[in-house]
Protein backbone atom coordinates (compact mmCIF):
# COMPACT_ATOMS: atom_id res chain seq x y z
CA UNK A 1 0.00 0.00 0.00
CA UNK A 2 1.32 3.46 -0.87
CA UNK A 3 2.53 5.54 2.04
CA UNK A 4 -0.02 8.34 1.57
CA UNK A 5 -2.84 5.82 1.37
CA UNK A 6 -1.62 3.99 4.46
CA UNK A 7 -1.31 7.30 6.36
CA UNK A 8 -4.86 8.26 5.39
CA UNK A 9 -6.08 4.87 6.56
CA UNK A 10 -4.29 5.29 9.90
CA UNK A 11 -5.74 8.80 10.31
CA UNK A 12 -9.25 7.44 9.75
CA UNK A 13 -8.52 4.68 12.22
CA UNK A 14 -7.32 7.22 14.81
CA UNK A 15 -10.46 9.31 14.31
CA UNK A 16 -12.71 6.31 14.91
CA UNK A 17 -10.99 4.80 17.95
CA UNK A 18 -13.17 4.25 20.98
CA UNK A 19 -10.43 4.42 23.59
CA UNK A 20 -6.96 5.78 24.20
CA UNK A 21 -5.14 2.45 23.82
CA UNK A 22 -6.56 1.93 20.32
CA UNK A 23 -5.76 5.53 19.36
CA UNK A 24 -2.20 5.27 20.74
CA UNK A 25 -1.51 2.11 18.75
CA UNK A 26 -2.71 3.77 15.52
CA UNK A 27 -0.79 6.98 16.31
CA UNK A 28 2.46 5.06 16.83
CA UNK A 29 1.90 3.24 13.53
CA UNK A 30 1.26 6.62 11.87
CA UNK A 31 4.51 8.04 13.26
CA UNK A 32 6.41 5.00 12.03
CA UNK A 33 4.81 5.11 8.57
CA UNK A 34 5.35 8.86 8.14
CA UNK A 35 8.94 8.76 9.38
CA UNK A 36 8.11 11.32 12.03
CA UNK A 37 8.86 9.43 15.19
CA UNK A 38 12.05 11.38 15.89
CA UNK A 39 10.07 13.83 18.05
CA UNK A 40 9.56 11.01 20.55
CA UNK A 41 13.27 10.31 20.79
CA UNK A 42 14.68 13.85 21.22
CA UNK A 43 13.49 16.29 23.88
CA UNK A 44 15.79 19.16 23.00
CA UNK A 45 14.38 21.94 20.81
CA UNK A 46 14.61 25.69 20.39
CA UNK A 47 10.85 26.00 19.89
CA UNK A 48 9.95 25.79 23.60
CA UNK A 49 11.45 25.12 27.04
CA UNK A 50 11.81 21.35 26.71
CA UNK A 51 13.22 20.93 30.23
CA UNK A 52 10.12 22.54 31.75
CA UNK A 53 7.88 20.34 29.60
CA UNK A 54 9.84 17.22 30.65
CA UNK A 55 9.46 18.14 34.35
CA UNK A 56 5.74 18.68 33.86
CA UNK A 57 5.31 15.39 32.00
CA UNK A 58 7.20 13.54 34.73
CA UNK A 59 4.94 15.15 37.36
CA UNK A 60 1.78 14.17 35.46
CA UNK A 61 3.01 10.60 35.07
CA UNK A 62 3.87 10.42 38.76
CA UNK A 63 0.44 11.71 39.79
CA UNK A 64 -1.24 9.26 37.45
CA UNK A 65 0.75 6.27 38.69
CA UNK A 66 -0.11 7.15 42.31
CA UNK A 67 -3.80 7.50 41.39
CA UNK A 68 -3.70 11.09 42.70
CA UNK A 69 -6.60 12.23 40.56
CA UNK A 70 -7.16 15.43 42.54
CA UNK A 71 -3.52 16.43 42.00
CA UNK A 72 -3.74 15.38 38.36
CA UNK A 73 -6.83 17.52 37.77
CA UNK A 74 -5.23 20.49 39.51
CA UNK A 75 -2.02 20.17 37.49
CA UNK A 76 -3.86 19.74 34.19
CA UNK A 77 -6.14 22.69 34.94
CA UNK A 78 -3.16 24.82 35.90
CA UNK A 79 -1.55 23.96 32.58
CA UNK A 80 -4.40 25.02 30.32
CA UNK A 81 -4.36 28.54 31.72
CA UNK A 82 -0.75 29.38 30.97
CA UNK A 83 1.94 29.41 28.35
CA UNK A 84 3.65 26.18 29.37
CA UNK A 85 7.29 26.17 28.39
CA UNK A 86 6.76 28.93 25.85
CA UNK A 87 4.66 26.71 23.59
CA UNK A 88 2.10 29.50 23.17
CA UNK A 89 4.57 31.82 21.49
CA UNK A 90 3.81 32.75 17.93
pLDDT (tens digit, 9 = 90+) per residue, 8-56?
999 999 999 999 999 999 999 999 999 888 777 888 888 888 899 899 9
Residue 70 domain boundaries: 50-86
Residues 36, 7 share a domain: yes
In this predicted structure, what is the pLDDT of residue 39?
74
Residues 54, 82 share a domain: yes
Residues 55, 74 share a domain: yes
Residues 57, 31 share a domain: no
In this predicted structure, what is the pLDDT of residue 1?
63
In the chain, how many domains are there? 2
pTM over 0.85: no
Q: Does the structure show a pLDDT above 90 at 69?
A: yes
CA distances from 73 to 22, 64, 70, 79 (A): 23, 10, 5, 10
Q: How far apart are CA 87 and CA 40, in angstroms?
A: 17
Q: How far apart are CA 30 and CA 14, in angstroms?
A: 9
Amino acid sequence: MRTSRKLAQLERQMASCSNYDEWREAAIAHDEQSGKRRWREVDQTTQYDYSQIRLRLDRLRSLRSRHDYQGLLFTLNEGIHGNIGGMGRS
